[in-house]
Amino acid sequence: MKLTITNLNKTYSNGVRALHDVSLTIPQGMFGLLGPNGAGKSSLMRTIATLQEADHGQIVLEDTPAGTIDVLRQKHDVRKLLGYLPQEFGVYPKVTAETMLDHIASLKGIANRSERKTVVEALLEKVNLMHVRKKNLGTFSGGMKQRFGIAQALIGNPSLIIVDEPTAGLDPAERNRFHNLLSEIGENTIVILSTHIVEDVTNLCSAMAIINLGEVIAEGHPADLVADLQGKIWRKTIEKAELEAYRNDYQVISTQLKAGRTQIHVHNETQPLDFEPVEADLEDVYFSKITAGKKAAVVA
Ligand SMILES: Nc1ncnc2c1ncn2[C@@H]1O[C@H](COP(=O)(O)OP(=O)(O)OP(=O)(O)O)[C@@H](O)[C@H]1O
C-alpha cells in the first residue's frame, strides 16, 4: 500500500490557508508528520480521514485489498480501511471501556455478538486495559484514554491508521507505553503519526515529513535528514542579553537555558568563531527547517 497526496490545498472560510500545495508520498510503516501548533497537521489528517473537504488536489491510496482508492471521492471505501484517533478524542464518561468498545465494534460492522466479545477482549489485552474494562471512561487518566483511543482505532484491523497528536500531555512513562503499542502495529499497515514532539518521530518513524504554515518543508528518512545536517550545527554558551545580536548574525535554531546561561545551536555551513561542533539530531533538523522558514518569512 502507498498513500500519495498531490497538490492538496485548503483555505478555511476565515481566510486561513491551512494547506498549501501539499504533496507527500507515504509508504507502509510508521510515518511521522511533524510540525508546530497550527502547521496544518490536523487539517491534513482530517482530510485523509474523509472528515473534511479539500479545495483541490488529490489523495490516492494504492494497492489496497479494494484496489486503488481515490480518497477524496471514495470515502466509503476509505472508511472501511481506516482507523482514526483524532486529536480531541471525547469519551462518554459514564460508559465502561468494554461497553464503549463493543458499541464501536458494532458500528464498524461486527454484527456477531460473540465475535465482538473476542475482538474487544483481544484489544483490551493489547492496550493493557483489561483490568479496568468495567470502569467508566470518565475515571481514566490521560494515558489510559489514549490507549483506549488506539484500541477503538484498531477495531476491524485497519490498514490505514491515523493518530493525531496522541502523546501530547502524556507523562514520559505513558508516552513510552504508547510508543510500544504503536510500534507493535502490523507491518502491512500505513500508520500516520501527527505530532509536534520530535522524540515521537525519532523513536518510531522510518519516514517523515515536516510541515509548517501549511507547507511541506522537508520529507525523507529521519536518518538521511540528520545526516544532511552533520557538520553544520554549532554550539555556544552566551549571556541572554547577547541573544538578539546572535540571531541577527546567524541562523539560531534553538536556545536552551543551562545553569542560568543560554546555550544556542546555530545552523551554519562553516564553523563560526568561538563555536564548537555538535552532533546533529532530529531536533536540530526540525528547528533548522522551522527557523529557516521563519527567517524567510521575516525577510519577505
Ligand atoms: N475549522 C477551521 N476554521 C478556520 N480555521 C481553522 C479551522 N481549523 C483549523 N484552522 C486554522 O488552520 C490552521 C491549521 O490548523 P490545524 O489544526 O490543521 O493545525 P495543527 O498543525 O493540527 O495544529 P495543532 O497542533 O495546534 O492542532 C491554524 O491556523 C488553525 O487556526
Predicted complex ipTM: 0.95
In angstroms, rounded to a whole number, what is the distance separating the alpha carbons of residues 265 and 251? 9
* 191 contacts 161 by C-beta, under 8 angstroms: yes
- Distance from Cα 41 to the centre of ligand 1, integer Å: 8
CATH class of 2-220: alpha beta
pLDDT (mean) for 176-197: 86
**Quick one: which atom of ligand 1 is closest to the CA of 196?**
25
Given a cut of 80, whether residue 187 has pLDDT beyond it is no
**Quick one: which atom of ligand 1 is closest to the CA of 87?**
27
Give me the torsion for CA of 91, 203, 172, 42, rounded to 10°.
-40
Instruction: List b or e across 159-189, with b for residues whose CB sees 16 or more CB atoms inside 10 angstroms.
Output: bbbbbbbbbeebeeebbebbbebbeebeeeb
Quick one: pLDDT at residue 294? 59
* 196 contacts 164 by C-beta, under 8 angstroms: no
* 218 contacts 59 by C-beta, under 8 angstroms: no
pTM: 0.89
Question: Which residue spans within the chain are E strands per DSSP?
Answer: 2-11, 17-26, 29-34, 56-64, 67-70, 82-85, 160-164, 190-195, 207-212, 215-220, 233-238, 251-258, 261-267, 276-277
Which of the two residues, 179 and 236, has the higher pLDDT score?
236
**Quick one: which atom of ligand 1 is closest to the CA of 46?**
18
pLDDT digits (tens, 9 = 90+) for 219-271: 999 999 999 999 999 999 999 899 999 999 999 999 998 888 899 999 999 99
In angstroms, rounded to a whole number, what is the distance separating the alpha carbons of residues 85 and 48? 12
Q: 131 Cβ partners below 8 Å, 6+ apart?
A: none
Range(s) within the chain of domains with CATH label 3.40.50.300: 2-220
In angstroms, rounded to a whole number, what is the distance separating the alpha carbons of residues 275 and 252? 12
pLDDT digits (tens, 9 = 90+) for 43-90: 999 999 999 999 999 999 999 988 999 999 999 999 999 999 888 777
Q: Is 86 helix (H, G, I), strand (E, B) or coil?
A: coil
- Distance from Cα 24 to the centre of ligand 1, integer Å: 19
Select from 8, 17, 41 the residue to mutate for testing ligand 1; criterion: most ligand atoms less than 8 Å from CB: 41
Looking at ligand 1, which residue's alpha carbon is closest to its atom 14? 40
Given a cut of 70, whether residue 146 has pLDDT beyond it is yes
Quick one: pLDDT at residue 296? 37
Given a cut of 90, whether residue 192 has pLDDT beyond it is yes
pLDDT digits (tens, 9 = 90+) for 81-133: 999 988 877 778 999 999 999 999 998 889 999 999 999 999 999 888 999 99
Which of 220, 146, 129 is closest to 182 using CA atoms? 146
The pocket around ligand 1, CB under 6 angstroms, is made up of: 12, 14, 16, 18, 35, 37-43, 87, 165, 196
Count of residues in the chain: 300
In angstroms, rounded to a whole number, what is the distance separating the alpha carbons of residues 189 and 182? 11
C-alpha cell at 27: 509508504
Average pLDDT, the chain: 91
- Distance from Cα 14 to the centre of ligand 1, integer Å: 11
